[in-house]
Amino acid sequence: MSEGHSEVSRRRLFQGAAGGVAVGALAAGGAAWGIWPEQAVAADRDQIDLTTSHPFYDAAHPAGIATPPQRYAIYMTFDLVDGSLVTDLQSLLARWTAAIAQLMRGRPIGQVQPTRVDAVGGDSGEAMGLDPASLTVTVGLGPGIFDRRFGLSDKKPPLLADLPALPSDRLAKETTGGDLSLQVCSDDPQVAYHAVRNLARMVRDTAHTRWAVLGFGRASAGQGQETPRNLFGFKDGTRNLRTPAEFDKHVWVRDGWMAGGTYQIARKIQMNLEIWDADMVSDQENIFGRSKLDGAPLSGGKEMTTPDFTAKGKDGKTKIPVLSHIALAAHENNDGIQILRRGYNYTDGINQYGQLDAGLLFVCYQNDPAHFVTLQTKLGASDLMNEYIQHIGSGIFAVPPAPRTGHYIGEQLFA
């Protein structure tokens, strides 16, 4: 993956989480691969340059996956309307692709002020004057695209299928599934919202909105970023995938028309925040298997120290409880399985019981959805955390490879 290039500043804004040191011409996220994790804790690189524009066309992989997670996200899924033709889908993908290219460069997708007096605007306008803000838009194709409707079943990515029912699932129909997904991420929430709004608008006669989650804060780290915290107050994603070699091994599909793409799984995970807050922090730490403050594994060391799942305390039990979240999810205990986590904290306000309605929009990428299924089957059955969370939404999508200039996302389907 190539780095986002900085378009020389009209307005340049650096925000360091700890009053960060400005790094001159080096754009945010400009850390070289490989220096992580040794310098990460000492050098906080969580800085934002709103002028950053990530590449879209001709990239090795689709944007918004290996891209260092931006601060905000909107995730939305769509259903193609009854009676849509394969040409409608083709036109939708081609038009979305061109529009995404405009948006990621911080440009409008049409006239905000139309030339003709009787015209509606081509772009809704609320991103005027705003920088690209590292916007990425990632398009996913759901299993429904490959059913009988469009005659595309022979192009179906071999591992794309609806997820099986998993332990502890409490999925609601209204937050599950979809024929298409958009993962829109940006360092400016208005830039992200403008993008998803206009992309939804331009296909209203072809695709209906199905469900959406607004992520207000990133809950996963990419290369060069300090590990952020989820709404349980814990660092999330300490052992996330970071190097190109790890992505090649675990994330990118290698063969067929999907080569260079990946599989996206989204889960809307509601957190019982009031109940969590009433739990002792020592118990919370046992649930995660990490210390709350610095994120170090309970087996000792610092955040980045490899957990020792066999180390025992004086009581003869493992220091990291066997049913803790990290013990169940660790690749050491799952035949080496790893997935890229790219989640965001979300809130839907207050629920009907007067409780905070919030949680984690968990988005993960892997070259085999079965890897997620294996991990979640185990977590759903045994995770100590299950007392405090419910998986209420779910979706699975194939993410095609990045488009080449002059082409569009998913064009291989129609060849």
Partner 1 sequence: MSRHTARRAAVATLTAGMAVALAACGSSSNGGSTDGSAPSKASSSSKGGVTQVDITLTGGDSDACSVDTKTAAAGPITFNITNKNSTAITEVELQSDQRILGEKENLAPGLAPVKFTLTLTGGTYQIYCPGAKQELQDFKVTGSAPASTGGTASSLLGHGVKGYAKYVTTNVQAMQSAVGKLVAAIDDGNLAEAKKQYALARPFYEKIESDVDGFVLPGYKPTDNAGNLDYLIDMRESNLDPKVGWHGFHAIEKDLWQGGKITPHTKTLAAELKTNVGKLVGLTKTLHYKPEDLANGAAGLLEEVQTEKIRGTEEKYSHLDLVDFNANVEGAQQAFAFLKPGLSKIDPGLTTNIAKQFTAVENKLNLYRDAKIPGGFVYWTPALRAKDASTLSQTVQGLQDPLSKVGEKVATAQ
| 5 sits near partner 1 (criterion: CB under 8 A) | no
Instruction: Show contacts with partner 1 in window 190-219 (CB under 8 A).
Output: 201, 204-206, 208-209
Interface pick for partner 1 out of 6, 102, 168, 386 (rule CB under 8 A)? 102
Write down the residue that tokens 């609806």 correspond to. 162
Rg (C-alpha) for the chain, rounded Å, is: 21
- SS3 state of residue 385: helix
Tokens of 351: 């629920």
Which helix (H) or strand (E) segment holds residue 281: the answer is: helix 281-288
Interface pick for partner 1 out of 48, 66, 73, 99 (rule CB under 8 A)? 99
Dihedral Cα 360, 366, 370, 371, nearest 10 deg: -80
Interface pick for partner 1 out of 12, 15, 44, 91 (rule CB under 8 A)? 91
| 415 sits near partner 1 (criterion: CB under 8 A) | no
97-to-135, 335, 394 alpha-carbon distances in Å: 14, 38, 25
Residue with Cβ nearer partner 1 (208 or 249): 208
Contact range with partner 1 by CB under 8 A, out of 104-112, 329-337, 366-374, 379-387: 104-112
Q: What is the DSSP letter of 301?
A: S
Interface pick for partner 1 out of 6, 15, 111, 333 (rule CB under 8 A)? 111
Interface pick for partner 1 out of 8, 18, 32, 83 (rule CB under 8 A)? 83
Contact range with partner 1 by CB under 8 A, out of 113-121, 230-238, 249-257, 302-310: 113-121
| 115 sits near partner 1 (criterion: CB under 8 A) | yes
Residue with Cβ nearer partner 1 (104 or 251): 104
Residue 342 CA, chain-centre distance (Å), reads 4
Residue with Cβ nearer partner 1 (343 or 393): 393
CA dist 62 and 403 (Å) reads 8
| 407 sits near partner 1 (criterion: CB under 8 A) | yes
351 burial via Cβ count (<10 Å: 0-12, 13-18, 19+): exposed
Interface pick for partner 1 out of 133, 340, 408, 413 (rule CB under 8 A)? 408
Residue with Cβ nearer partner 1 (208 or 292): 208
Residue with Cβ nearer partner 1 (105 or 378): 105
Helix/strand/coil (H, E, C) string of 28-39?
Answer: CCCCCCCCCCCC
344-350 and 356-366 strand pairing: antiparallel
Tokens of 164: 């099986």
| 53 sits near partner 1 (criterion: CB under 8 A) | no
- For the chain, give percent helix, strand, coil, nearest 5: 25, 20, 55
| 81 sits near partner 1 (criterion: CB under 8 A) | yes
CA dist 262 and 260 (Å) reads 7
With CB under 8 A as the rule, give the number of residues binding partner 1.
36
| Shortest CB 135 distance to partner 1, Å | 14
| Shortest CB 29 distance to partner 1, Å | 23
CB 140 within 8 A of CB 264: yes
Q: Which residues bind partner 1 (CB under 8 A)?
A: 81-83, 90-91, 94-95, 97-99, 101-102, 107, 109-111, 114-120, 122, 201, 204-206, 208-209, 403, 405-408, 411
